[in-house]
Amino acid sequence: EVQLLQSGGGLVRPGGSLRLSCAGSGFVFDKYGMNWVRQAPGKGLEWVAAISGRGDTTYYADSVKGRFTISRDNSKNTLYLQLNSLRPDDTAVYYCALDSWGQGTLVIVSS
């Protein structure tokens, strides 16, 4: 069974940083590209970033380009999202996603 277990997140001040993690199991981790998707409170789904299975190709939404970095450590079966220069409008639940999705982790950006 595919499982994606997320960690990280929390409350951070504007301009601050956080790192989100997503540990995968139940599948051959390095064979699949993966995504981060976020959902602001009461809103719809917004794709954030994607990375290839080997980690050598990355893509970003314009809203996060230059501030967020997606990466993966295939030796640890773990996907990451580094969030820098956070803004209040980055407040959302962040999900790692394949066919199945992680449980989500809440990021709140507030002073």
Which positions from 11 through 40 interact with another protein, judged by CB under 8 A?
A: 35, 37
Does the protein bind another protein through residue 47 (CB under 8 A)? Answer: yes
| Residue with smaller CB distance to another protein, 56 or 111 | 56
Residue with tokens 């066919």: 99
Here the contacts of 84-91 (C-beta below 8 Å, separation 24 or greater) are 84/17, 85/15, 85/17, 86/12, 86/13, 86/14, 86/15, 86/16, 86/17, 86/18, 87/14, 88/14, 89/40, 90/38, 90/64, 91/40, 91/41
Per CB under 8 A, contacts with another protein among 69-98 are 95, 97
Binders of another protein among residues 51 to 70 (CB under 8 A) are: 59, 61-62
Residue from 8, 19, 23, 50 binding another protein (CB under 8 A): 50
Binding site for another protein (CB under 8 A): 35, 37, 44-47, 50, 59, 61-62, 95, 97, 99-104
